[in-house]
Amino acid sequence: MASENRVNIDIFKSVTRAIAHSEDLDIMTNHLCQLLTAGLDIKGCAIFVLNAVTEELEILASFGLSAKYLTKGPLSTPKSINATFQGNPAVISDIGQKNHGLQYPDEARKEGIAAIASLPIIHLNEVIGVLRLYHYEPWKVSDQDLESLQILAGIIGLAMMYTRFHNTVHAIAEVLGHTFQVQLTSKAGKR
C-alpha cells in the first residue's frame, strides 16, 4: 500500500480536453470517468450529483462498476462517507478495516473494491456532487495526489455548472427566438 503520485500533467490535459470539447453533461462526465479510471489505473470511477431535497447522491456517470453495485441502494449524505459532504476529501485506504464511514462495505467488497477516494465537487462553496475513485487494492493516496484530485473535482464542478448554464441559455434562446418569430409572423399577417 505504497503512497506514490499517480496524478500527472497528462491526466490534467486529458480531463481539460474532455471538458473543453463537450456541451453534453452526460457524455462529458462519462468520458471523464473513463479517462480517470484508465489514467490512474484503478477499478472504477463515479460522478454523483447531490439532490438537495432528498440529501442523496444520484449517479451522473460511472465507469468500471457493475449495475448491481451502482443500484445497491440510496447513498445518503449522513451515511455515505460524510466528510465529503462537509467539503473535505476522504480516503478509505483499505475498506477491510473497521470504522471507515462506508455505507455499504459488504457490497463494496463483493464488487472487488479495496479502497475509495471520495472528493467533494464544490461550486460557490456548496457541495453539488461527489467524485469517487474506486481501487481494486488498498491505496494510500499521496498528499500531492489528493490535492491534485481536489483540483480536478473543482474543475468538474465548474464544467457541470457551465454545461447546465449553457444548455439553459440555449433553451431560453430557442423559446425567445420562437416567440419572437411567432410575433413577427402574426404582425405580418395583420397587415
User: H/E element holding 120?
Assistant: strand 115-123
Q: Given phi > 0 = left and psi -120 to 50 = alpha, else beta, which region is 88?
A: beta
Q: Given phi > 0 = left and psi -120 to 50 = alpha, else beta, which region is 26?
A: alpha
Backbone angles phi and psi of 87, in degrees to 5: 95, 10
Higher per-residue pLDDT: 113 or 21 = 113
Residue 167 is predicted with a pLDDT of: 78
The superfamily CATH assigns to domain 9-190 is GAF domain (3.30.450.40)
pLDDT tens-digit map of 27-62: 889 999 999 999 999 999 999 999 989 888 899 999
The predicted model scores a pTM of 0.84
| Average pLDDT of the chain, as a whole number | 85
pLDDT tens-digit map of 4-13: 777 878 888 8
Strand partners, 133: 45, 117
Contact 113, 83 (CB under 8 A): no
Contact 75, 103 (CB under 8 A): yes
For the cut 90, the answer to whether the pLDDT of residue 138 exceeds it is: yes
For the cut 50, the answer to whether the pLDDT of residue 2 exceeds it is: no
Higher per-residue pLDDT: 139 or 96 = 139
Integer angstrom CA distances of residue 63 from 18, 89, 111: 15, 20, 13
Lowest mean pLDDT segment, chosen from 28-37, 95-104, 133-142: 95-104
Measured between its terminal Cα atoms, the distance across the chain in Å is: 80
CA 84/CA 50 separation, integer angstroms: 11
Percent of the chain with pLDDT over 70: 90
Lowest mean pLDDT segment, chosen from 60-69, 91-100, 101-110, 149-158: 91-100
Higher per-residue pLDDT: 161 or 111 = 111
